Structure 1
Amino acid sequence: MQREEKQLEVTLQAILNRVNDLKTAIQALIAKLENEYETINWPTFLDNYAILSGHLTGLSKILQAEMAPSLRALVVLPLQLGCERDEALSRLTEGRVPACTHDLVPDLLRTKPEPQAEQRLQQFNHKASTLSYDTAQKQVAQFTKVVNHVWEIISKGREDWDGESMRSQGMQPTHSTGDTHALVTAVGTGKGLRPGLAPLGVGGGALGPRGPPGPPPPPGPQAVAMPKAPSAIKTNIKAANQIHPYQR
């Protein structure tokens, strides 16, 4: 029995720590939204939301742990009800619950939503279940169209914003038009690949008003003259013609 009570105490303390961390993160996010709503950006909001998600995940792991006792088997009930102010309860709840009254206890121990909220939830579920397939598809298509339109507006606004921010910061462009034209000319005509080599045109002459065209190239393929190697076959044939085997 003492082991179970000790285990329950450790589990409740871990849950309480996680809940306090979650509460602190929620308070920080609310403070940012109320005080920094003009300067807060989307990445900062996502970072704070990721912190909340991490605390919720940790709390779920504690509740789903095998070593943790089943809290569903425990009963929570007030030991004393009264209208007088309870300082210990007020300090424990940070001033939100000053006294454990008869009107407050049903809300604190409620295991189901309020009757009004439960009734509206049932109405929404009934409306969703009676919706036809074609009507649902039309609504989904219309919603998708609206989302795509909003996405295009946001993307265009972001591109304009990035361009204006670069111009306002005086950032130099990362490309050069002159270098692009020089690269295209070098690929197309060979200009600038070798020093002192004029660019060639379609007919093989020089391009541009740099001077008179050069002499036309000789017909046929241009080959570089190479020294001929001595032929051993010719020498042997010549020697065979000079010395005939039937001449004495």
Structure 2
Amino acid sequence: MQREEKQLDSALEAIIMRVNDLKTSIAAMIFKLEHEYETLNWPNFLDNFALISGHLTSLSKILGHDKAPNLRNLTVLPLRLSPEKDDDLLRLTEGRIPTFAHDLVPDYLRTKLEPQAEQKMMQLEAKAATVNMDTSHKQLTQYTKVISHVWDIANKAREEWESEAGARATQPPSSNATDTAALLAAVYLGKGLKSDSMQMVQSGVNSVTNSMMVGRPGGQQQTQGQGPMGNQPMGQMNKAPSAIKTNIKAASQIHPYR
């Protein structure tokens, strides 16, 4: 009896530790879902879910161990029921159960499911019993194919995303932020431009404007001494030199009737 009691105590202590770890993980996950839902991403959610799954697996291993006592053969009985507030019970249950009264004992010491849940489970079991074995195998095979197809799509999308992210990370930059900011400041604010440079730009603009006005019909004529030919008269300013010699005669000399 003493050996069995020691094994029971050690098993209960290990179970309580695992249950506390599981409870802490579930509370942390609920806190993130309620308060950090804007910044919570899918990988962090999967990490929390994997942590909870790991605690459940450890708890199942402890319960299924050979040296662990069979808790199904044990019965929990209340030693004292009181409608008054119990501080020790409140501390042990972390403020959830203030009293251990007659109306709370059936709920907290229940060894079966609640009546509504039990009725729902019976309906599902009856529905599953009416399904033919071949039909169930076909449905299971089809469900497995669908899950495998979705898994392949998710893996392909992840590989494409990782390859695109790696390509973007290895691509050299095509611009310089400092030069771009300096260029924008020079264009919009004139920052970095000296007075000499502005005068050179203004003189270049004036020369281009004067060259465009030369020979324009109806426009302003260029004054003497400002054109590209120096101080030549206006009649000879735009006349191109000719290399062909011509002999112009009067019209009276070539009249056919004289």
TM range (shorter): 0.5 to 0.7
Structure 1 residue 122 displacement after superposition? 2.3
Report how far residue 3 of structure 1 moved. 2.1
Residues 68 and 165 of structure 1, relative CA distance in 2, 3 Å threshold = closer
- Unaligned residue ranges in structure 1 (runs of 5+): 174-248
SS at match of 1:69: coil
Specify the alignment match of 2:48 in structure 1. 48
- Give structure 2 stretches of 5+ with no counterpart: 174-258
Map of 2:31 onto structure 1: 31
Q: What percent of counterpart residues are identical?
A: 60
Task: Give the C-alpha shift of residue 72 in structure 1.
Answer: 1.9
**1:151, 1:61 → 2: CA distance?**
29
Residues paired across the two proteins, number: 173
Cα pair distance change 1:38/1:154, threshold 3 Å: farther
- Relative distance call for 1:124 and 1:89 in structure 2 (3 A) is same
Match of 1:120 in 2: 120
Instruction: Determine helix, strand or coil for the equivalent of 1:95.
Output: coil
Counterpart of 1:7 in structure 2: which amino acid? Q
Q: From the superposition, tell whether residues 4 and 133 of structure 1 become closer, same or farther in structure 2 (CA, over 3 Å).
A: closer
Question: 1:162-241 counterparts in 2 under 5 A?
Answer: 171-172=171-172
Report the Cα offset of residue 41 of structure 1: 1.6
Q: How big is the shift at 1:154?
A: 7.8
Residue 128 and residue 172 in structure 1: after superposition, are their counterparts in 2 closer, same or farther (change >3 A)?
A: farther
Residue 75 of structure 1: aligned partner = 75
1:102 is aligned to 102
The one-letter amino acid of 1:86's match is D
User: 1:57-108 deviations in whole A, cap 9, x for unaligned?
Assistant: 1111111111122222222111011110111111000011111111110011
* Offset, 1:127: 3.8
**Cα deviations across residues 185-204 of structure 1 (Å, max 9, x unaligned)?**
xxxxxxxxxxxxxxxxxxxx
Aligned to 1:13: 13
Name the CA distance, whole Å, in 2 between partners of 1:11 and 1:140.
38
Q: Which residue in the other structure is 2:228 paired with?
A: none
Moved more, 26-35 or 147-156: 147-156
Aligned equivalent of 2:59: 59
Give the secondary structure class of the aligned counterpart of 1:65.
coil
| C-alpha distance in 1 between matches for 2:148 and 2:6 | 55
User: How far 1:12 sits from its partner (Å)?
Assistant: 0.7
SS at structure 1 position matched to 2:100: coil
Structure-2 separation of matches of 1:66 and 1:103: 37
How far did residue 48 of structure 1 move? 0.9
TM-score when normalising by structure 1: 0.55
Equivalent-residue separation in structure 1 for 2:50 and 2:23 (angstroms): 14
Give 1:123 shift: 2.6
Separation in structure 2 between the aligned mates of residue 15 and residue 146 of structure 1, nearest angstrom: 38
Cα displacement (A) at 1:16: 0.5
Change (3 A) 1:160 1:7: closer
Q: CA RMSD for the aligned pairs?
A: 3.4
1:211: which partner in 2?
none
In the TM superposition, what is the alpha-carbon distance from 1:121 to its structure 2 partner?
2.4
- In structure 2, the partner of 1:93 is 93
| Amino acid in structure 2 at the alignment position of 1:94 | E
Question: In the TM superposition, what whole-angstrom CA distance separates every residue of 1:150-190 from its partner, at most 9, and x where no partner exists?
Answer: 999989998998899789989449xxxxxxxxxxxxxxxxx
Question: Taking structure 2 as the reference length, what is the TM-score of the superposition?
Answer: 0.53
In 1, the alpha carbon distance for the partners of 2:123 and 2:99 equals: 36
4+ residue runs over 4 A deviation: 128-173
- CA distance in 1 between partners of 2:24 and 2:46 (Å): 16
Moved more, 86-95 or 38-47: 38-47
CA 1:163–1:132: 2 relative to 1, 3 Å = same
What is the CA–CA distance in structure 2 between the aligned matches of 1:145 and 1:6, rounded to whole Å? 50
SS in 2 for 1:13: helix
Distance 1:138 1:70 in 2: 38
> Residue 214 of structure 1 corresponds to which residue in structure 2?
none
Partner of 1:198: none
Compared CA separation, residues 80 and 14, structure 1 to 2 (3 A): same
1:75–1:128: structure 2 CA closer, same or farther, 3 Å change rule?
Answer: closer
